[in-house]
Amino acid sequence: MKTITVFKGDGIGPEITDAVLEILKAAKAPLDYEIFRVGEAEYEENGALIPEKAFASFERNKILLKSPITTPVGKGFRSLNVTLREKYDLYANIRPAKSNAAVVTPFKDVDIVTFRENTEDLYVGVEEQIDAGTVHATKIITRRASTRIIADAFAYARAQGRKKVTCVHKANILKKSDGLFLSVFREIAENYPDIEADDKIVDNVCMQLVMRPQQFDIMVMPNLYGDIVSDLTSGLIGGLGLLPSSNLGKDYAMFEAVHGSAPDIAGKNIANPTALLWSACMMLEHLGELDVAAKIRRAVDQVLAEGSCKTPDIGGKATTAEYCSQIIGRF
Ligand code: ATP
């Protein structure tokens, strides 16, 4: 049995976490859980968004399944997601977007994995008021951070039998910063003659993604483009409710849905737990529990393919609880 840490966050966080834990238990995932409330409610009651004992649990267990957390606006908080990524050096954000035949979108056969650098770029949060009408924001790109994310993207491509890695950048304008990212990409690509390597400018990528998304396989890019482009890829496959992610570092791993806390639908029992559930599958695969992950993925595919039990975000009328019990019924 492996013990993992679970953060229940804000908005739809608690309800999708409960659904996912119920499914993991029903699938007999060999896991024990240390579960913590984090986020706004925890802050209001105890004065910290993430309690110390929750951090300590993650530091012990090294694996975190995290639901969305709202960072209170206007109270001077740094984003909790950014804080966690920095504190535990979770440098590789991996976001697989794969079409599911049962979820109808105008885009078919999309199968794209985005590797987003997670620790630098404009996310370093360095902004400077120059004068009343001028603000500067700092974009940081380093050889070290670029090398590890790009190397991971190529290693993943080879391990998974994928064909191509595309570097996404704006090096025509940001000649030094994105220029460095691109030159590191070209250096590393030389070690992978078996994998096609190409690069594209980010605005062109956005256009190409909606014209012919099937041309993309693995994409690797700096932090901000990764944030935006991967949301775009979620739109190609049916929305944020279907996009899982892993955040990997050398010592720690965190698994979370890409979407936010969706306060507009919180507490209504209509949230789609699939993105968090697939994140949990990525976690099981990371832990070597391939059979349990495959069992859950199969059950989800069956329920979606059968068609009568879908949550409203993907065109159905089912509640979170109904969808969850349909999945459990397939084990
Ligand atoms: P954040 O700033 O934290 O990303 P946001 O409000 O910009 O938050 P989301 O919380 O991801 O973005 O929500 C965007 C839209 O997608 C909302 O309308 C929300 O209801 C919907 N949405 C997000 N996640 C889900 C989900 N799991 N199931 C159904 N709808 C979802």
How many other C-beta atoms can be found within 10 angstroms of the C-beta atom of residue 85? Answer: 22
Query: Does the active-site annotation cover 194?
Result: no
Give yes or no: residues 214 and 331 share one domain.
Answer: no
Element of type H or E holding 174? none
Phi–psi pair at 182, nearest 5 degrees: -65, -40
CATH number where 232 lies: 3.40.718.10
Q: Which of 18, 89, 231, 301 is catalytic?
A: 231
Do the bridges between strand 92-98 and strand 196-201 make them parallel or antiparallel, or are there none, so unpaired? Answer: unpaired
Domain match, 195 and 272 both: no
Task: Please check whether residues 322 and 223 belong to one and the same domain.
Answer: no
Q: What would the two tokens of residue 213 be? A: 């998304």
Q: Are 131 and 232 part of one and the same domain?
A: yes
184 and 164 within one domain: yes
* pLDDT of amino acid 102: 84
Name the β-bridge partners of 214. none
Q: How far is CA 105 from each of CA 23, 142, 154, 305, rounded to the nearest angstrom?
A: 27, 38, 29, 14
What total number of domains does the chain contain?
2
Q: Say whether both 327 and 214 belong to one domain.
A: no
What is the extent of the structural domain holding 164?
A: 106-237
Query: 261: Cβ below 6 Å to ligand 1?
Result: yes
Q: Is the CB of 240 under 6 A from ligand 1?
A: yes
Mean pLDDT of the chain: 95
* 100 belongs to a structural domain: no
* 10-residue averages of pLDDT along the chain (331 residues): 96 97 98 95 89 97 95 72 90 95 90 96 93 97 98 96 98 98 98 97 98 98 96 91 94 95 96 97 97 98 93 94 97 94
The answer on 181 and 266 residing in a single domain is: no
- Indicate the DSSP class of residue 137: E
**Is residue 53 domain-shared with residue 124, that is, in the same domain?**
no
CA angle 1–118–50, rounded 5-degree value? 55
Specify the residue with its C-alpha closest to ligand 1, atom 21: 262
Q: What value, to the nearest 5°, has the Cα angle with vertex 34 and ends 30 and 40?
A: 135
Task: Mark which of 206, 237, 268 sits at the end of a domain.
Answer: 237
144 assigned to some structural domain: yes
**Whether the Cβ atoms of residue 125 and residue 85 lie closer than 8 Å to each other:** no
Task: Confirm whether 97 is domain-assigned.
Answer: no
Which pLDDT belongs to residue 41? 87
Given 237, 265, 283, which residue is the final one in a domain? 237
DSSP 236-247: HHT-GGG-EEEE
For 174, phi and psi rounded to 5 degrees?
-90, 75
- 231 catalytic? Reply is yes
Residue with CA closest to ligand 1 atom 25: 241
- Residue pLDDT, tens place only, 23-79: 999 999 999 999 999 998 898 899 889 999 999 999 999 999 999 998 777 666 777
3-state secondary structure of 205: helix
The minimum-distance atom of ligand 1 relative to the CA of 258 is: 11
Q: Please report the atom of ligand 1 found closest to the CA of residue 68.
A: 3
**99, part of any domain:** no
Rounded Cα gap, residues 331 and 326, in angstroms: 10
In-domain check, residue 96: no
